[in-house]
């Protein structure tokens, strides 16, 4: 089961896992909850050809059918269930994609609950979604220059801009806080006060962090030198500032602060991230 926080890394990881599980095969599609019953009937029995991840959005493409658009939002979760003995999906399951894994013919079910969006999506609707998305650090075709271009049109605080999916797609509240800490940039800094060099470095930092998250399935930003050694990183050692208000900074021991920015709490160490 995947319970990673649904920022862009989770979405790209799901795309990769779901491709391995079901693309190229015929898929049984259902909606035990019933809220996607009509759409499921349209897709049921068709071949799943490709899955695209863009920012926090997923597009499942079936032969001779509209695309399936999924956005997890804050509460959405996918779980993967394998084997014939697996318990049936719960009644709150919005969507089930069931088939056999091409690699070994294992029965696989992908079960979705609580999504913000689970809908059929024609090309015009998909174009509208894409038009609202800035460059995605997890898309190898996207470059820092595209991010700099979006920043050049803005004056808001960088901490606000990073949550705006039109400016950069896939960053959420954890990566916002952690990337700004690692770059030594205070969230309230207006983007107009940032150098091109700093913006480029911030983009590259997000590429690195999101890539690691998509690989591992969790967000660990703290370098080994800044946390206890040993095996698996504990939850409380995974972040520098996110959800650590009042605790000492791992680098300078100053108390981490939290305040609302862009509608959500942001976290920073004013010792390591000088206020503007």
Q: Token digits for 95?
A: 């969507």
Whether 56 is a known active-site residue: answer yes
Q: Which is nearer to DNA, 47 or 79 (CB)?
A: 79
Backbone angles phi, psi at 76, to 5 degrees: -65, 140
Indicate which residue of 132, 155, 235, 264 is catalytic. Answer: 264
Whether 7 is a known active-site residue: answer yes
Q: Which is nearer to DNA, 196 or 236 (CB)?
A: 236
Q: Which residues bind DNA (CB under 7 A)?
A: 3-7, 33, 55-56, 71, 73-75, 77, 90, 92, 94, 113-114, 116, 132, 163, 165, 171-174, 242-243, 263-265
271 CB contacts (<8 Å, ≥6 apart)? Answer: 249, 251, 252, 253, 254
Q: Shortest gap between Cβ of 42 and DNA (angstroms)?
A: 21
Q: Shortest gap between Cβ of 16 and DNA (angstroms)?
A: 18
Q: Shortest gap between Cβ of 8 and DNA (angstroms)?
A: 8
Indicate which residue of 13, 32, 56, 250 is catalytic. Answer: 56
Q: Which is nearer to DNA, 48 or 142 (CB)?
A: 142
| Residues carrying an active site annotation | 6-7, 56, 264
């Amino acid at each position: 089961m995947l319970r990673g926080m649904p920022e862009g890394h989770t979405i790209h990881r799901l795309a990769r896992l779901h491709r391995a599980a079901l693309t190229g095969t015929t898929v049984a599609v259902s909606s035990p909850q019933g809220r996607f019953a009509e759409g499921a009937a349209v897709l049921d029995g068709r071949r799943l050809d490709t899955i695209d991840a863009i920012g926090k959005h997923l597009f499942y493409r079936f032969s001779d059918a509209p695309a399936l658009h999924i956005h997890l939002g804050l509460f959405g979760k996918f779980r993967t269930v394998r084997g014939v003995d697996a318990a049936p999906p719960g009644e709150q399951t919005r969507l089930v994609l069931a088939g056999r894994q091409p690699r070994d013919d294992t029965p696989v079910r992908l079960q979705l609950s609580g999504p913000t969006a689970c809908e059929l999506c024609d090309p015009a609707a998909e174009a509208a979604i894409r038009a609202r998305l800035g460059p995605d650090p997890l898309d190898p075709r996207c470059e820092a220059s595209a991010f700099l271009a979006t920043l050049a049109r803005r004056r808001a605080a960088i901490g606000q801009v990073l949550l705006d999916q039109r400016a950069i797609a896939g960053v959420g509240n954890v990566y916002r806080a952690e990337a700004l800490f690692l770059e030594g940039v205070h969230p309230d800094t207006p983007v107009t006060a940032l150098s091109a060099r700093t913006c480029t470095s911030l983009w590259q930092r997000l590429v690195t962090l999101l890539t690691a998250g998509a690989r591992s399935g969790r967000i660990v930003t703290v370098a080994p030198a800044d946390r206890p050694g040993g095996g698996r990183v504990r939850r409380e050692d995974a972040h520098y500032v996110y959800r650590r208000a009042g605790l000492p900074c791992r680098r300078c021991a100053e108390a981490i602060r939290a305040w609302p920015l862009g509608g959500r709490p942001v976290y920073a160490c004013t010792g390591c991230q000088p206020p503007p």
